[in-house]
Amino acid sequence: MPTVTLTPFRGSNFYMGFSEQSDPNTPVAPSIFPRCKNGTKVEITLNTEEVEEMDGSRRTTLLIKNGQMVKIKYTGSLRPNERGYFEKWGHGVSSDTYTGPTVSTTLAGATLANATSVTVHSNTGLTGSGTIPLVLEPGTATEEIPVFAIPATGGSDPFTLTVDSSYNGGHLKYAHASSGVVKSKASHVLTDQNEGNYFTVEAGYGILYSAGGTAIRIRACKVDKFTSTLEHGKIIIDEIEMVGIVSTVQGSAATVTLEQHAPFLFTQGAYTADGSSTGQALRKLILERTNNLDSDTQGEGLNPTCINFAKLDVKLKYSLILTAFSKIYNTFYGSPTGTTDSQQVGYGSFNALLTQPDTLNTLQYNILTVGYTNSPWPDPQEDGKHWDIDYEGTSVVVPPSGSGPNNAYKLQTTLTNTQFSSY
């Protein structure tokens, strides 16, 4: 009878953690752990050389190592708070313009699950009318983002906030402690900068749950390419390609903590192309930004000495159900109403705003000027079904009018979430 002699490592026993470095020469223990999907990998690239010398034989004399560096690829669906770190690392140093919450107070008393109201110590930011999403006890096991009716009632501390009927039938889901933090959303507006931050990446292979695997830590990493794919009915898929200078083996696993917010869905979006709503015709969107890293900086040592941002490319691809030919005219004939070949590049714009059901967590991408590079004429369909047209463009700094000062950025990312400090 055969005997079981192997205990293989499980392929999903893996984590990838990240943390920003203040010093490129000093790696940092990871604190951000996004969930991964297939396609995530770490590759240590090795350059070797066979040395040929005449010693009377026809055999290679030596094999030497010329250089070594690390390439990392993350594939997954980033959550609202952790997304900001990768957006910052993709955009560059000091790219985040942070605006704090307009509401920042604490609960004046404990509340039970299923409660219909809470009391707070301050009504700053709560004197308007309508509704407002507020996060209760952010970052804790009982975090909750209910929607409240405003204004808050009561002439002095404590003030009362009533849960709006649009949220869980007007009832809280969890109990909350007295003095628990209550805040409205924070805002982060990020734009492309001249240079990027260094950060640490750690990858653990078969090491969680005391499985006996290993982990490697890669220091001085930067983002080379950041691609986000949004497709009808699906979650956003992010693919981030990075380069790191040097790696070391770790003796133990990191303590993995996962963000519990939901990922963004394509169906949560409002999309505007060339100033007009896509009107439910958008089928797929691919946003690709590339920093074209300069990593060919090896000096006396085995590894690169530094990694630098080079030329920035921001490319856009999106697929629309064909209902008008104006975008094709714009690409080839210089304007949405053009009729003859034109030297003029067809310019447009693009904006995508995704809002989660809690209305607090949002993600927005804005390209001021898209220069269209392809809008193909459709192929005839003998089955009579609709046409999907794949439009392609690149972000340019020329304003849509073709004159005036250059745009301030190629891509702007705006996040609202519960990250209450600058990235």
Give the integer Cα–Cα distance in Å for 175 and 158. 18
Nearest Cα to 253, choosing from 208, 218, 193?
208
State residue 403's pLDDT score.
73
H-helix segments, 43-186: 80-91
State residue 70's pLDDT score.
97
Give the integer Cα–Cα distance in Å for 354 and 363. 5
Model pLDDT for residues 17-45, shown as the tens digit of each residue: 999 999 999 999 999 999 999 999 999 99
Give the integer Cα–Cα distance in Å for 47 and 226. 26
Contact call for residues 119 and 69 (beta carbons, < 8 A): no
**Beta-bridge partner residues of 420:** none
- Report the share of the chain in percent with pLDDT over 70: 100
The count of C-alpha atoms lying within 13 angstroms of the C-alpha of 196, restricted to the half-sphere facing its C-beta, is 32
Computed on alpha carbons and rounded to an integer, the radius of gyration of the chain in Å comes to: 26
Average pLDDT of the chain, as a whole number: 95
**Beta-bridge partner residues of 316:** 287, 393
Nearest Cα to 200, choosing from 220, 184, 230, 180?
220
CA distances for 215 relative to 9, 20, 51, 73, 279, angstroms: 13, 18, 33, 16, 47
Contact call for residues 199 and 218 (beta carbons, < 8 A): no
Fold of the CATH domain 102-184:
Elongation Factor Tu (Ef-tu); domain 3 (2.40.30)
Per-domain residue ranges for the chain? 14-50+63-97+189-417, 102-184
**Which residue has tokens 């693919």?**
239
State residue 60's pLDDT score.
85
Model pTM?
Answer: 0.94
Contact call for residues 261 and 135 (beta carbons, < 8 A): no
Angle at 267 between CA 262 and CA 272, to 5 degrees: 120
Give the integer Cα–Cα distance in Å for 325 and 333. 11
Return all residues near 61 (Cβ < 8 A) that are at least 6 apart. 51, 52, 53, 55
pLDDT tens for the 423 residues of the chain, in order: 778 888 889 999 999 999 999 999 999 999 999 999 999 999 999 999 999 888 888 888 899 999 999 999 999 999 999 999 999 999 999 999 999 999 999 999 999 999 999 999 999 999 999 999 999 999 999 999 999 999 999 989 999 999 999 999 999 999 999 999 999 999 999 999 999 999 999 999 999 999 899 999 999 999 999 999 999 999 999 999 999 999 999 989 999 999 999 999 999 999 999 999 998 899 999 999 999 999 999 999 999 999 999 999 999 999 999 999 999 999 999 999 999 999 988 999 999 999 999 999 999 999 999 999 999 999 998 999 999 999 999 999 988 776 778 999 999 999 999 999 999
Buried-exposed string 315-346: b where 16+ CB fall within 10 A, e elsewhere: bbbbbbeeeeebbbbbbbbbebebeeeeeebb
Contact call for residues 160 and 114 (beta carbons, < 8 A): no
Which two tokens mark 109? 């008393």
Angle at 259 between CA 257 and CA 265, to 5 degrees: 150
Cα dihedral angle (23, 241, 394, 373), rounded to 10 degrees?
A: 160
Contact call for residues 134 and 103 (beta carbons, < 8 A): yes
Sheet with 130-133: list strands edge to edge. Answer: 117-120, 159-163, 147-153, 130-133
Give the integer Cα–Cα distance in Å for 156 and 411. 45
How many angstroms from the chain centroid is the CA of residue 80?
A: 8
State residue 214's pLDDT score.
96
Report which secondary-structure segment, H or E, holds 37. none
Residue 364 amino acid letter: Q
Burial of 27 (0-12, 13-18, 19+ CB in 10 A): buried
Q: How many CB atoms lie within 10 A of CB 66?
A: 10
Which two tokens mark 231? 């497709």
